[in-house]
Amino acid sequence: MLAATSKGDAEPAILYLADGTVFYGRACGATGTATGEVCFNTSLEGYFEVLTDPSYAGQIVTMTYPQIGNYGVDVDDAQGALGPTGSDASDHPRPALRALVVHDMCRTPSNWRSTVSLPDYLAQQGVVAIEGLDTRSLVQHLREHGAMQGIVSTEIFELDELAARLAAAPALVGTNLVKTVSAAVRRAYTAADLPEGRRFAQLPVDGARFNVVVYDCGIKRGILEGLVRAGCDLTVVPWDTPADEVLAMGPDGGMPDGVFLSNGPGDPDAVEATYTQVQSLLGRVPVFGICLGHQMISLAAGAQMEKLKYGHRGGNQPVMNLISRRVEITAQNHGFGLLFPSLGELVPELSGGVEAHPSDGDLRFWVERGVAPVVSNERFGRIRLTHVNLNDGTAEGIQLLDVPAFSVQYHPEASPGPTDSHYLFTAFTRLMGGDADYLDIDIAKDRLAGWQFATE
């Protein structure tokens, strides 16, 4: 019956989880076998940006939306790093994720920008994919039992062999995946590198006002574009570049105006070569970190991380900004989070008179009180909690009050996702410009900056 439809003669495929749970389906990408941590993404669109996000290295991604691929693929939307040279050959690198899981894969896309169907792209890139299984049941299982190791195969169906292969696969915790996705050499990224295809909707970029060094831990193109559109010329460096070299990368060998710490995959504790450099940078130059970069700042301050049960992945995560009291709908992709109390003891006079951290660790305690609490950190002085996830009460952002630095756990670039958090790029430029109230921004107004709209 399938042979008479757009599905064609699909080969069988299997997903086997570490706890022995099995899902059967059909192949819809490359043939082969792949192991990784099985997680899920709740975005309703933007599957190609998700697929090409380097932060998914080491993972098998399940899309919760039922049909994926209906608008095809335009490779110009790829979010992977530019590669070590920035040459044409490395413009669209292979996706970093291990495999893709969907309920229904569309093989006949409808979109004027599409150049290839998603299953054909997956096959070209060597990405194993499976469709036809009950993704609702799979996601419910992961929510109840947590993200776990799994194996997807189109060639092995003996459960004992799948279990043996999975047992021999490396675990996500303790593995440094950043070094597998970071560029190998330094490169520049300026307004001249912005994509031509979006100029019909975006205003021209004014001249750059700041020189920023970007640690590439698996950075997305959308983040580079967001920084450039905010007025920055960028020097992108490998994940383990020494701090002393970074501090000499400004104009004429002087200090740069700021340092940006990018997103990236996997266990933050395994990326010691980055957060030890951040220790040397904090207090000497303005620093802004997102996602893994947020975790690098936190670890540099001596904080502890926790592995979240199933992480935050999708473009619909609600976050309370404790300073503005505005709720942002954010795009996120991470499986680890900051334990805010590990940064230090509360400063009661700066924390609404509260003397002790909430015993259950739920930071929505501060949302209910309308307080942005401050702790005393042994290394960098006062640190304020600025953002809280409203779904689970985890930390989503911090601000160092005695050194020029701040960070958020989510992505402000909207590739894919909402534009609520665009103001963070503006905040970084204000920090570099010496504005003490750099986070005091009209979020609603800022999110419209840089776009051109029809007047008739």
Tens digits of residue pLDDT in 328-366: 999 999 999 999 999 999 999 999 999 999 999 999 999
- Distance CA(150)–CA(170), nearest Å, equals 11
Binding residue per annotation — 264?
yes
pTM value? 0.94
C-alpha torsion angle, residues 365, 371, 376, 382 (rounded to 10): 140
Q: Is 11 a catalytic residue?
A: no
* Options 334, 357, 413, 422, the catalytic residue: 413
- Distance CA(343)–CA(288), nearest Å, equals 18
Binding residue per annotation — 415?
no
Q: What is the pLDDT of residue 88?
A: 39
Check pLDDT > 70 for residue 454: no
One-letter amino acid of 405 = A
DSSP string covering 29-83: SB-SEEEEEEEEE--SS-HHHHHT-GGGTTEEEEE-SSEE-TT-B-GGG--S---
pLDDT band of residue 196 (cuts 50, 70, 90) is confident
* Options 291, 334, 357, 387, the catalytic residue: 291
Q: What is the pLDDT of residue 206?
A: 79
Top CATH class of 2-168 equals: alpha beta
**What digits encode the pLDDT tens for the residues 432-452?**
999 999 998 888 878 777 667
* Options 312, 357, 411, 422, the catalytic residue: 411
129 phi and psi angles, rounded to 5 deg: -145, 150
> What are the structure tokens assigned to 159, written together?
């459960």
Q: Is 106 a catalytic residue?
A: no
Binding residue per annotation — 55?
yes
Domain extent listing, the chain: 2-168, 178-444
- Distance CA(331)–CA(43), nearest Å, equals 9
Check pLDDT > 90 for residue 323: yes
Nearest-CA neighbor of 234 among 213, 220, 253? 213
Check pLDDT > 80 for residue 296: yes
Binding residue per annotation — 295?
yes
Distance, CA of 84 to chain centre: 20
Binding residue per annotation — 6?
no
**What digits encode the pLDDT tens for the residues 368-423?**
999 999 999 999 999 999 999 999 999 999 999 999 999 999 999 988 989 899 99
Q: What is the pLDDT of residue 195?
A: 80
Structurally, what CATH architecture does the domain formed by 178-444 represent? 3-Layer(aba) Sandwich (3.40)
The set of residues, in sequence order, having a beta carbon less than 8 Å from that of 327 and lying 6+ positions away, is: 318, 319, 320, 321, 390
> What are the structure tokens assigned to 342, written together?
């590990």
Query: In this structure, are strands 22-27 and 12-17 parallel, antiparallel, or unpaired?
Result: antiparallel
Binding residue per annotation — 79?
no
Binding residue per annotation — 283?
no
Q: Averaged over 54-60, what is the pLDDT?
A: 96
Q: Is 368 a catalytic residue?
A: no
- Helix locations, 247-395, DSSP H: 272-281, 292-300, 364-369
Q: What is the pLDDT of residue 87?
A: 39
Check pLDDT > 70 for residue 47: yes
